[in-house]
């Protein structure tokens, strides 16, 4: 029942800001500049867990920003890939935030972050097994039912693969989509990072990815570890050239798609993020023009 209900959200009209122009992460250091200058941005994305307080500046400024822009809400704490039952108290708080902000999309991760009563504050990987898929599907169904909307699941950045995995990542994600009716948030930087770390071809990864379910794209920067042998999904650098190229390739595969410039650390002047957003818009325009020019 849940799957059918959420697959019906296909084709639902998206808010125009979200659909048309690239968004950027909303961070406290940008609040006042955003409200003073109202820059041309499609939407702002928040991390749900940073906006669950009853008051204070986060909630105050979010309300102001919401008056001018579309929002997307990105959860980082539901631990959908975990062994344990979901933290219902936390789900309830997230649900209240989603009801209050009415975001264009709500997204979460193919990862786990809670063990017993402890929150580990990282997006930890899961083995791609049938048993894990069953658990993840249950959790995604549960969240979609409580939020009463389709949610998007983001592909992870991973630094190792499990021996015990029996499915490849794209198969696992495709099964998840088919069983739950969830949509996908395709993080292109994560594709670059994971494929580099596991010596795979990012283009082949995208070729086998269930692109029909992608409703949003994330772009971010990475760093290299000390030995320069692993790429780390740090979100504290500008989007790298190879990620821009992979993004362009993704757009060529799926056509235009709502996109976010994601930044979580080493914050530059807001203008730098806006420049990256404009570059994404430029690439999106090119792909739209291309699709119009193609003979029917």
Partner 1 sequence: MQNQFNAALFKQSDELVNDIKGHSTEERIQRLNVYRNNVHVSLQTALGDIFPVCKQLVGEDFFNAMAHEYIEQNRPTSPILSEYGGNFSDFIANFPPAQALPYLSSLCELEYRLLQLTNTAEPKTLSLEAAQQTLSQVQHPEALALHLNAQCQLMHSPFSVGALYLAHQQPEPNLKGLQISAPEYLLLTKAGLYGCCYPLSEAEYHFINALKQNPNLSHALPDDDGFDLGQTLARLMTWQVFDDINES
Under the rule (CB under 8 A), what is the footprint of partner 1? 49-50, 52-58, 60, 76-79, 82-84, 87, 90, 93, 112-122, 124, 126-127, 132, 159-164, 197, 225, 227, 229-230, 232
Considering beta carbons, is residue 55 or 295 the nearer one to partner 1? 55
Stretch (H or E) spanning 293: helix 270-293
Using the structure block, give the residue that is written with the tokens 């930087």: 189
The smaller minimum CB distance to partner 1, of residues 42 and 125, is found at 125
Evaluate the CA torsion angle 110, 218, 147, 35 in order and state its sign: positive
Cβ atoms within 10 Å of 121's Cβ, excluding its own: 11
Smallest gap from Cβ 27 to partner 1, in A, equals 12
CB closer to partner 1 out of 91 and 206: 91
Q: Least distance to partner 1 from the beta carbon of 197, Å?
A: 8
**Nearest to partner 1 of 201, 229 (CB atom):** 229
Cβ pair 260, 24 in contact under 8 A: yes
CB of 150 to partner 1, least distance (A): 22
- Alpha-carbon distance of 143 to 108, in angstroms, equals 10
Cβ at position 172, least distance to partner 1 in Å: 15
Q: For residues 294 and 290, what is the distance between their CA atoms, to the nearest angstrom?
A: 6
Given a contact cutoff of 8 angstroms between Cβ atoms, the answer to whether 158 and 125 are in contact is yes
Residue closer to partner 1 (CB basis): 13 or 67:
67
User: 193 or 213, CB closer to partner 1?
Assistant: 193
In the bound state with partner 1, the residue whose beta carbon lies nearer, of 165 and 248, is 165
Least spacing, CB of residue 39 vs partner 1, in Å: 23
Q: What is the DSSP string of 226-268?
A: TTSSSEE--S-SPPPHHHHHHHHHHHHHH----EEE---SS--
Instruction: Please say whether the beta carbons of 83 and 138 come within 8 A.
Output: no
What is the smallest separation between the CB atom of 44 and partner 1, expressed in angstroms? 19
What CA–CA distance (Å, rounded) separates 202 from 157? 12
Is 40 within 8 Å of 20 (Cβ atoms)? no
Provide the 10 A C-beta neighbour count for residue 106.
Answer: 26
- C-beta of residue 11 within 8 angstroms of C-beta of residue 215: no
Write down the residue that tokens 């041309």 correspond to.
40
Nearest approach in angstroms of CB 228 to partner 1 is 12
Which residue number, 73 or 257, has a Cβ lying nearer to partner 1?
A: 73
Q: How far is the CB of 118 from partner 1 (least distance, A)?
A: 4
């Amino acid at each position: 029942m849940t799957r059918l209900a959420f697959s019906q959200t296909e084709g639902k009209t998206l808010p125009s800001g979200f659909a048309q122009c690239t968004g950027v992460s909303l961070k406290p250091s940008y609040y006042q500049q955003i409200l003073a200058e109202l820059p041309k941005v499609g939407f702002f994305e928040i991390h749900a867990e940073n906006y669950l307080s009853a008051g204070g500046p986060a909630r105050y400024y979010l309300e102001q920003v919401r008056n001018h822009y579309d929002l997307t809400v990105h959860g980082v704490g539901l631990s959908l890939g975990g062994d344990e039952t979901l933290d219902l108290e936390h789900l309830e708080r997230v649900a209240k935030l989603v009801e209050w902000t009415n975001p264009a999309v709500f997204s979460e991760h193919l990862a786990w972050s809670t063990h017993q009563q402890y929150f580990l504050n990282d997006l930890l990987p899961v083995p791609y097994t049938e048993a894990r898929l069953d658990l993840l599907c249950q959790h995604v169904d549960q969240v979609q039912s409580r939020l009463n909307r389709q949610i998007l699941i983001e592909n992870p950045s991973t630094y190792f693969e499990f021996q015990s995995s029996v499915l490849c990542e794209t198969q696992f994600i495709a099964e998840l989509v088919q069983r739950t009716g969830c949509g996908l948030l395709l993080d292109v930087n994560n594709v670059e990072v994971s494929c580099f770390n596991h010596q795979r071809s990012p283009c082949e990864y995208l070729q086998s990815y269930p692109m029909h379910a992608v409703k949003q794209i994330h772009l971010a920067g990475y760093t290299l570890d000390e030995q320069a042998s692993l790429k780390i999904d740090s979100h504290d650098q500008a989007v790298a050239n190879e990620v821009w190229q992979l993004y362009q390739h993704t757009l060529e595969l799926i056509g235009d798609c709502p996109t976010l410039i994601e930044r979580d650390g080493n914050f530059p002047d807001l203008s730098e993020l806006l420049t990256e957003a404009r570059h994404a818009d430029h690439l999106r325009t090119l792909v739209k023009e291309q699709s119009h020019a193609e003979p029917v």
